[in-house]
Amino acid sequence: MRTIYSIGETTYDIIFKDNQPTVGIVGGSALNAAVSLGRAGLDIYFLSRFGNDLIGNISEKFLEENHVNCDYIKRFAGQSRIALAFLDQQNNAKYQFYQSNQMPKLSFPEVKENDFVLFGSLNALNNRGRNDLIRFLKKAAKKKAIIVYDPNIRNFAPSEKPDIIAKVEENIRLSTIIKGSTEDFTTLYGNHYEKNLQSIVNTSDEKIILITNGKYPVRVITHSFAEEIETEEIETVSTIGAGDNFNAGVIYGLHKKEIATRNISSLSAQEWRQIVHYGNKFAANVCSSATNYISTNFAASL
């Protein structure tokens, strides 16, 4: 059976609407995807760390209840990470983070050919633990796992840009699928980012770029074609977790269609249309609720 490994930070999200806290839920980009994949019935492991505090206990219990394997989670004596998410009138979120006070080393699994590895966000750029992460990704690539990278770039100081880009591009070189939003790629490369992305694809026939842009079409770029795939129109309650669940849906689609490492680079535009359809469906389901993951009813319908 193919296994999925999702690597990233755990947060406890306190969501504000009109400057008032409305709900608290377990979150984090890699965690959101892991929970949705667990609800969808896939074999998913989450690699993360959080404290031996009440927030940590809530997080671990929640993951286990949603069929996410916690064998590679590190608990530590300290405070877990908290995020405040402020929704605007369009229900888009701005974040304020309160970091955990420790970052113990993660233990990494032995992956098999055609397993999936999902990683990204700040966790993939942090100097603490980065060497271990890169060693793991190199091993996973050598084993012919399908590696999905979501930069999920937040704001950074101009002086940090060269270092950020160097790390992002090292992550890209080790990945099979690079999925980011137009905001991510514009932050990195400016308005003409697609030239940079095309040059990345041209360096390897095995690279696939997926670009999301909210309600606008998803752009798929491979070595043989570029395609735009429409999204469905929905009434949005919250955009928190939309990109994370797009990632989960794409992995679900690849898994369902039994796409292997050996043939992923030769998929047609029509096949990518079917796979991205799952990404859009997962994201739309999340945007129609105040949670960060697909609903159990939606998961059952799969």
Q: Could you report the per-residue pLDDT of 106-116, keeping only the tens digit for each?
A: 999 999 999 99
In the block, tokens 């699994």 appear at 109
> Using an 8 Å Cβ cutoff, are 245 and 259 in contact?
no
| pLDDT value, residue 227 | 94
- Domains plus CATH for the chain? 32-43+104-301 (3.40.1190.20)
| pLDDT value, residue 169 | 94
| pLDDT value, residue 154 | 73
| pLDDT value, residue 250 | 98
| pLDDT value, residue 279 | 98
| pLDDT value, residue 93 | 80
| pLDDT value, residue 202 | 81
> Using an 8 Å Cβ cutoff, are 45 and 30 in contact?
no
| pLDDT value, residue 48 | 97
| pLDDT value, residue 238 | 84
| pLDDT value, residue 23 | 87
Residue ranges in the chain whose pLDDT is less than 50: none
| pLDDT value, residue 97 | 86
| pLDDT value, residue 239 | 86
| pLDDT value, residue 145 | 98
Q: Give CA–CA dist 91/217, Å, rounded.
A: 20
Dihedral over Cα of 177, 264, 246, 10: its sign: negative
Residues 6+ apart with CB under 8 A from 5: 44, 45, 47, 72, 109, 111, 115, 116, 117, 118
